[in-house]
Structure 1
């Protein structure tokens, strides 16, 4: 089964060498399926995801945050691009009464 939407997330870590400190940035994809969201080796059943939100400034290469609000807590992922398409597809999958509280 192909994902409905894929969104690129990033991971940032610091490495210290003999004479320098460097920032290493790697990326991975978050996949939205009809029944789950997969991030790296973690799979969240769609019923356990309550909401998706984000905070991202529209400046060059600024790092923003994507928040998965789950029944097990909030999971935070770093992003660089607007995840509006991901959020819109997620809302289509969820019952409309959930967003009309």
Structure 2
């Protein structure tokens, strides 16, 4: 199945080994399909997502929020997700 839009996001993980603490950044991509949104670990059926919003944080990037039947999920993004949100809103408006 071909995706309609893609949005890079990242996850920050702290690893502690012995006396050392290390921060690891995992770059990932979420995809908007006609019937779902897929991230690295989750899939959201389009019917379960009510809305998306974005809040800019600091100098660059911010948080992309999915408002779903199961609650609000947040994803850290470096790039403005305006196109991804627009593609989602266009998709649900057509249903």
Query: Same-fold call, TM > 0.5?
Result: yes
Give yes or no for contact 2:6–2:29 (8 Å, CA) kept in 1: yes
The corresponding residue for 1:70 is 68
2: CA distance, partners of 1:68 / 1:10: 15
Aligned to 1:99: none
Q: Secondary structure at the match of 1:23?
A: strand
* Partner SS, residue 66 of structure 2: strand
> Aligned residue pairs: how many?
94
Match of 1:79 in 2: 77
Cα deviation, 1:32-77, whole Å, max 9, x if unaligned, reads 0111101113211101100010112472xx4511100001110111
CA contact (8 A) 1:3 1:32 kept: yes
Give distance in 2, aligned partners of 1:4 and 1:84: 14
Which 4+ runs in 1 deviate beyond 4 A?
none
Q: TM-score by structure 1 length?
A: 0.82
Contact 2:61 2:80 (8 Å CA) reproduced: no
Question: Which residue of structure 1 aligns with residue 7 of structure 2?
Answer: 7
Q: Do residues 34 (structure 1) and 57 (structure 2) align?
A: no
Bigger radius of gyration: 1
Shift of 1:16: 2.4
After TM superposition, the structure 1 stretch with the greater mean CA deviation from structure 2, 37-46 or 4-13, is: 37-46
Greater share of strand residues, 1 or 2?
2
Provide the aligned C-alpha RMSD in A: 1.7
Structure 1 residue runs of 5 or longer lacking an equivalent are 97-101
TM-score (norm 2): 0.87
Matched, 1:24 2:24: yes
